[in-house]
Amino acid sequence: MPRTRVKKVTVNDLMQTGYKYDLVEPAGKNFDSTFTPQLTPKEMLRLGVFGGKYMTDCRKEFPDDWYKSAKLCHDFHNKELNFFGINASQPLSVWKSKGWIYKDDPRGWFQWYCRYYMGRRLPKEDERQIKRWRAFRRHASQVINGCRRGDYHCRRKQRQALLHWAYDARKI
């Protein structure tokens, strides 16, 4: 089996300057067997997540096609850009206070997922984030048990939060 060529990435955006990492897997391939997201980062950005504020200064780090139909707002968090039209985000300060932010991914889980999707692997951090992702699945069960299938007005905040975690809440 041929070895994937390692690609070096250097990040210079509003939250990181000179951060470097390696892409050791092909994009979208060779995920941990317990990590099966239903949405790609590109699909999430196209659907509308994080009020469009997330990743507006990261265009050089990720593929151009992720941004072609992305719902983004560089200036402020616009809940209207979210698929379910509701704010389901907590401020970064809350994430930091709860210890959810890893030093290499100062924007949190979605930044980790984008980099993991592109092929970066950090075994201990990958394990931690995948564990968090699996735990978030409980919200899908609550929507399934508390709403009629396809009723987008039922539990909108939980549905939007599920989209933020790559669960396709449109299908439940």
Domain assignment present for residue 171? The answer is no
Is residue 106 situated within a structural domain?
yes
Contact 95, 101 (CB under 8 A): yes
pLDDT in tens, the chain (172 residues): 555 579 999 999 999 999 999 999 999 999 999 999 999 999 999 999 999 998 899 999 999 999 999 999 989 999 999 999 999 988 888 888 988 899 999 999 999 999 999 999 999 999 999 999 999 999 999 999 999 998 999 999 999 999 999 999 999 9
Per-position DSSP letters for 102-134, written without gaps between them: BTTBTT-HHHHHHHHHHT---HHHHHHHHHHHH
In a domain, 60, yes or no: yes
User: Per the structure, how many domains does the chain have?
Assistant: 1
Q: Does 146 fall in a domain?
A: no
Residue 69 to residue 79: CA distance in whole angstroms: 17
- On whether residue 130 sits in a domain, the answer given is yes
- Decide if 129 contacts 109 (C-beta within 8 A): yes
Q: Is residue 1 part of a domain?
A: no
Domain around 46 = 7-136
Q: Residue 170: inside a domain, yes or no?
A: no
Q: How far apart are CA 67 and CA 89, in angstroms?
A: 21
Residue 25 forms part of a structural domain: yes
